[in-house]
Amino acid sequence: MKSASAPFVIVTGAGQGVGRATALELANVHGCSVLAISRKADALASLAADPAAQGRVELLALDLTGAEAGERLKAAAGARSIDALILNHGQLLNKPFAQIPRAELQELFTANVFSAIAVVQALLGSLAGGHVVTIGSMGGFQDSSKYPGLSSYSASKAALPV
């Protein structure tokens, strides 16, 4: 049974765009305690300066592709039960498919797919009853020809665990 404390939500890719807006919305409109994660420390500094983040948003600068990411995430979450894990992080690759070296494809899939899997695996013990939400891309479900140069990005986002 959950306590009366605020729901605890982790948002990855929270330094900018959809992730930042999600973290702020969860904290201010829904009263959640949010752990906002980004590999971009400067983006997190900007988030920390936002008055809407005060008091409810914790910050963690972390590259989720790193070997230590799982342990650092578990330490940051502590003993709290995670009510929701929003996997919004990602890396964009805009290049014609025929020109993408294998190493770049591996880096892209590591950033967009394998790191998401690793995050879920690391936090599974704290997700009792919690939700996992992956933020993908419509390019992965619509015809990639609508998104020239984004076929590999679209494929990586379509491969996210759901």
Give domain limits for the chain.
8-158
Is residue 5 pLDDT above 70, yes or no? yes
Is residue 143 pLDDT above 70, yes or no? no
Contacts of 109 (CB under 8 A, 6+ apart): 156, 159
pLDDT tens, position by position, 107-131: 999 999 999 999 999 999 999 788 9
Q: What does pLDDT average to over the chain?
A: 89
For residue 159, what pLDDT band results from cuts at 50, 70 and 90? confident
Is residue 139 pLDDT above 90, yes or no? no
- Please name the fold of domain 8-158: Rossmann fold (3.40.50)
> What is the rounded CA–CA span in Å between residue 161 and residue 116?
8
- The half-sphere exposure of 115 on its side-chain side, counting CA atoms within 13 A, is 29
For residue 154, what pLDDT band results from cuts at 50, 70 and 90? confident
